[in-house]
Amino acid sequence: MDAIEIQRMITNGIPGARVEVRDTTGGGDHFEALVVSATFEGKSLVQRHQVVYAALGDAMRVRVHALALKTLTPMESEQRR
């Protein structure tokens, strides 16, 4: 699994999302991702992560050992700049 594949899966599962994924160890099993989507409006942190996990499907259980997530709405992302 690589960062580009994870990015593609999340983008396909959350249309319109801005997604950045980085392999944190270089081993292809530990990643961090920033996902910015209007889909997250009104959702708790747990619900936001569930949306991302759903986009990854079985890959999250089988191919990815660790995924650190930052899930933001577009407004939250703008406020961080």
* CATH, residue 53: 3.30.300.90
pLDDT in tens, 44-71: 999 999 999 999 988 877 777 789 999 9
pLDDT of residue 80: 84
pLDDT of residue 46: 97
Contact 1, 21 (CB under 8 A): no
Average pLDDT of the chain is: 92
* Structural domains in the chain (count): 1
β pairing state of 66-72 and 30-36? parallel
Alpha-helix runs per DSSP H in the chain: 3-13, 45-56, 58-62, 74-80
Domain that holds residue 11: 3-80
